[in-house]
């Protein structure tokens, strides 16, 4: 699914719609024949995309999709800025993968030209990152390092979890997955220690509870992506890093989403 999103201030000054489902600031959703990854969000400034341009943006991602295919999650944030004085476009991309965020930026008179150069750069950076990960994996095998897991004290009722998602009831989803909250909190706390930027922000205006809520919010929104043959706890662990990176990349909006989700939970208790 290809998502076209603009800033909240440009949506008639509206706030998220009240209800049981926390919503991102999404203006329109454009069906695509592409695979689910990456999840794409686009910010446009001083310009807008036609449906043809949006389709071209999606189509240009084909080489990137090939190289990120084996990553469990991938979020791509695109910012397109039109500079009226210089009559050119500045395109910036941020690709959030487990363990790392990759950035590119290009300027050109033609928006798609700058965008395609960004995509080519991302492909090269992903290939380098994959080679780096393969080297680390070989090292871990040699050292036989045991990685802690997200394991609850009791299993969840998968039917109850699926029913809450089908009903778009986030509060019910959190109740059904409550046994995973403490394991996710502990694992997220250890994960944050790997990122000095996150640790610094955790001491300022970002709380560990916000990271945990963001993980469950992403799990709720992407529940259909969960491979049913895989342990639910392992999948939640995969969501920790992209959730943390999203909070660091766009804290104001993500914290609004987290606050809204938490309000839904508390109002239902």
Q: Are residues 14 and 114 in the same domain?
A: yes
Q: What is the DSSP letter of 3?
A: E
CATH code at position 86 = 3.30.160.100
C-alpha pair distances (Å), 166 with each of 131, 143, 245, 249: 39, 43, 27, 30
pLDDT at 199: 64
Token output for 138: 């070989």
Instruction: Indicate whether 145 belongs to any domain.
Output: no
Instruction: Indicate whether 200 belongs to any domain.
Output: yes
In the chain, the number of structural domains is: 2
pLDDT at 205: 55
Instruction: Indicate whether 92 belongs to any domain.
Output: yes
Instruction: Indicate whether 184 belongs to any domain.
Output: yes
Q: What's the pLDDT tens digit per position in 1-14?
A: 344 443 433 333 33
Task: Enumerate helices (H) and strands (E) in the chain, giving the number of each.
Answer: 10, 6
Which of 124, 144, 171 terminates a domain? The answer is 124
pLDDT at 47: 92
Residue 125: CA atoms inside 13 Å, Cβ hemisphere, count?
A: 17
Range in 29-43, 85-99, 113-127, 202-216 the model is least confident about: 29-43
Q: What's the pLDDT tens digit per position in 206-252?
A: 678 888 888 998 899 899 989 888 889 999 999 988 888 887 777 66
Token output for 86: 């210089």
Instruction: Indicate whether 138 belongs to any domain.
Output: no
Q: What's the pLDDT tens digit per position in 150-205?
A: 888 888 898 999 999 999 898 899 999 999 999 998 888 888 777 666 666 655 55
The rounded mean pLDDT for the chain is 78
pLDDT(146) > 50: no
Q: Compute the distance between CA of residue 209 and CA of residue 267 in angstroms, rounded to an integer.
A: 18
Cβ atoms of 20 and 70 within 8 Å: the answer is: no
Q: How confident is the model at residue 25 (pLDDT cuts 50, 70, 90)?
A: very low
Instruction: Indicate whether 168 belongs to any domain.
Output: yes
Q: Compute the distance between CA of residue 121 and CA of residue 104 in angstroms, rounded to an integer.
A: 7
Instruction: Indicate whether 194 belongs to any domain.
Output: yes
pLDDT(254) > 80: no
Instruction: Indicate whether 54 belongs to any domain.
Output: yes
Q: What's the pLDDT tens digit per position in 28-84?
A: 333 333 445 688 999 999 999 898 999 999 999 999 999 998 898 899 999 999 999
Overall average pLDDT of the 122-129 stretch? 92
Which of 124, 147, 177 terminates a domain? The answer is 124
Tracing tokens 């049913």 back to the chain, one arrives at: 228
Whole-model pTM: value is 0.45
Tracing tokens 């939640």 back to the chain, one arrives at: 236
Order of strands across the sheet that contains 88-97: 28-30, 2-4, 39-45, 75-83, 88-97, 100-108
Instruction: Output b/e per residue, 190-209; b: 16+ Cβ within 10 A.
Output: ebbeebeebeebbeeebeee
Q: Are residues 108 and 14 in the same domain?
A: yes
Instruction: Name the residue range of residue 249's domain.
Output: 158-268
């Amino acid at each position: 699914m290809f998502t076209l999103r603009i800033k909240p201030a440009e949506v008639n000054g509206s706030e998220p719609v009240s209800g049981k489902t926390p919503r991102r600031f999404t203006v329109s959703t454009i069906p695509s024949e592409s695979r689910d990854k990456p999840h794409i969000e686009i910010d446009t400034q001083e310009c807008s995309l036609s449906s043809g341009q949006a389709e071209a943006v999606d189509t240009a991602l084909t080489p990137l999709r090939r190289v990120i295919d084996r990553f469990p999650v991938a979020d791509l944030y695109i910012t397109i800025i039109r500079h009226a004085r210089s009559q050119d476009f500045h395109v910036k991309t941020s690709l959030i993968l487990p363990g790392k965020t990759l950035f590119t930026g290009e300027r050109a008179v033609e928006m798609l030209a700058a965008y395609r150069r960004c995509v080519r750069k991302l492909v090269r950076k992903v290939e380098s990152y994959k080679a780096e990960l393969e080297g680390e994996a070989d090292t871990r095998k040699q050292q036989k390092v045991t990685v802690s897991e997200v394991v609850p004290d009791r299993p969840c009722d998968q039917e109850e979890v699926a029913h809450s998602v089908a009903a778009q009831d986030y509060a019910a989803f959190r109740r059904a997955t409550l046994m995973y909250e403490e394991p996710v909190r502990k694992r997220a706390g250890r994960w944050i220690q790997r990122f000095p930027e996150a640790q610094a922000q955790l001491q300022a205006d970002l709380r560990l509870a916000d990271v945990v809520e963001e993980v469950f919010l992403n799990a709720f929104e992407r529940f259909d992506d969960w491979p049913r043959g895989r342990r639910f706890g392992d999948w939640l662990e995969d969501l920790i890093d992209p959730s943390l990176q999203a909070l660091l990349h766009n804290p104001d909006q993500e914290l609004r989403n987290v606050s809204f989700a938490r309000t839904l939970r508390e109002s239902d208790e």
